[in-house]
Amino acid sequence: MPNHLPAGNDTPSTPADESFLHHVCVPFLLRSQNPDGGWAFHPENPSCVEPASWALLALNSISDYPQAHRAVQRGCDWLRAAQLPDGSWPSQPGLAEGSWVTASACLALRSQPDSAGAVARGIHWLCQQRPSEGRLWWRFLHWIQRSSAVVRHDLTLPGWSWTPGTSSWVEPTAVSLILLSGEAKDSGPPTMARRCRQATALLYDRMCPGGGWNSGNPIVYGVAGEPQPASTAWALLALQEHPERKEIQESLRWLADIYPRIAGPSSLALARICLRTCGRTLPPGPGFQQLHARNEFFRDVSVYAWVALSLVPLQPWLSWSALDRRQP
């Protein structure tokens, strides 16, 4: 369970932010809940785990909304029912295979009563999952082809993949690490601490030269990749343990520099969550009202949820436990 809030910069939102949260985000999230209790990426489509998880986290972080309380209860019921027998959650309804959304589902349920068992099973599944590039035959193949390798990062470090049987990437690794880092050291499977250490090492290894992260290819054919705000935000949120490290400082600086020029609402929201959590003063940037006026966020539930999360006080789901990943 979460132990403490991050020591971030909890700057109160502006009146415009407050208004946007209460008059646009929350009504949209409440309105777009499906009759079965879940949420889809777009209203009226079948419910999916990922948008439901972010919508639940957003609505759960808003106090004094009786409607939100009821919506969260229904949403949690739907999310628990969507769990697969092996403890994972599928990315799409009807699928019998778990995926990266297991981490976001656990984050959404972790603070809910009657969900401890579901979260424990989800964490157990995550700790069992290993990306395919860590397998022996694959490492051997890579070793043979090392002179012509297109990427230079350490392919032996296991993080988490989007789907089973594929490679580690920054976002699923970071979200899983955020989840596991919030668990008490003595809880969870025995492999949890090791997986956290490996995932931490992977994220540092995948940092773009000069700071920031993209989806997970920092250098391809010897050319440095461009970092992206959302991937950078996820990685920084997962690596709060060492705020003094040079890589963290460089990446935070990159994110703060790019912040005023971020053109997409989801990237802006995640950057905002990250900078606040990491104790940075928010640079002047585009307002959500202004971004919303363009395309209504394409009516994407997960975008409304991330924007809402960026406008509420600091997040319990981002809290850290005393889990020490530095031990060998």
Q: Does 265 bind another protein (CB under 8 A)?
A: yes
Q: Which is nearer to another protein, 105 or 193 (CB)?
A: 105
Query: Do 42 and 301 meet the contact criterion of CB atoms below 8 Å apart?
Result: yes
Which of the stretches 29-37, 122-130, 241-249, 292-300 binds another protein when contact is defined by CB under 8 A?
Answer: 292-300
Q: How far is the CB of 160 from another protein (least distance, A)?
A: 10
Alpha carbons 230 and 264: distance in angstroms, whole number:
10
214 contacts another protein (rule: CB under 8 A): yes
Does the protein bind another protein through residue 17 (CB under 8 A)? no
CB of 244 to another protein, least distance (A): 30
Q: Can you tell me which of 21, 29, 48, 119 binds another protein, judged by CB under 8 A?
A: 48
Interatomic CA distance for residues 193 and 180, integer angstroms: 8
Q: Over 62-80, what HEC string results?
A: CCCCHHHHHHHHHHHHHHH
Backbone phi and psi for residue 321, each to the nearest 5 degrees, phi listed first: -100, -170
Distance between CA atoms of residues 69 and 74, nearest Å: 9
Burial class of residue 29 in the structure, from the number of CB atoms within 10 Å of its CB (0-12 exposed, 13-18 middle, 19+ buried): buried
Q: Please, what is the minimum distance in Å from the beta carbon of residue 44 to another protein?
A: 9
* Residue number with CB closer to another protein (175 or 252): 175
User: Minimum Å distance from CB 99 to another protein?
Assistant: 8
Least distance (Å) between residue 145 CB and another protein:
12
Whether the Cβ atoms of residue 162 and residue 169 lie closer than 8 Å to each other: yes
287 to 9, 97, 229, 240: CA distances (angstroms) = 19, 39, 16, 26
**Sequence-distant (≥ 6) Cβ neighbours of residue 59 within 8 angstroms:** 26, 29, 30, 65, 68, 71, 72, 75, 308
CB of 255 to another protein, least distance (A): 14
Residue 298 sits in the site that holds another protein (CB under 8 A): yes
Per rule CB under 8 A, is residue 7 in the interface with another protein?
A: no
Least gap, CB of 223 to another protein (angstroms) = 5
Residue 54 interacts with another protein (CB under 8 A): yes or no: no
Distance CA 269, CA 226 (A): 20
What is the x/- site pattern for another protein, positions 97-136, by CB under 8 A? --xx-------------------------------x----
Q: Rule CB under 8 A: is residue 171 a binding residue for another protein?
A: yes
Angle CA(72)–CA(271)–CA(253) in degrees, nearest 5? 155
Contact positions vs another protein (CB under 8 A): 40-42, 45-46, 48, 50, 91-92, 94, 99-100, 132, 148, 150, 161-163, 165-167, 169, 171-172, 214-215, 220-221, 223, 226, 228-230, 262-267, 294-300, 302-303
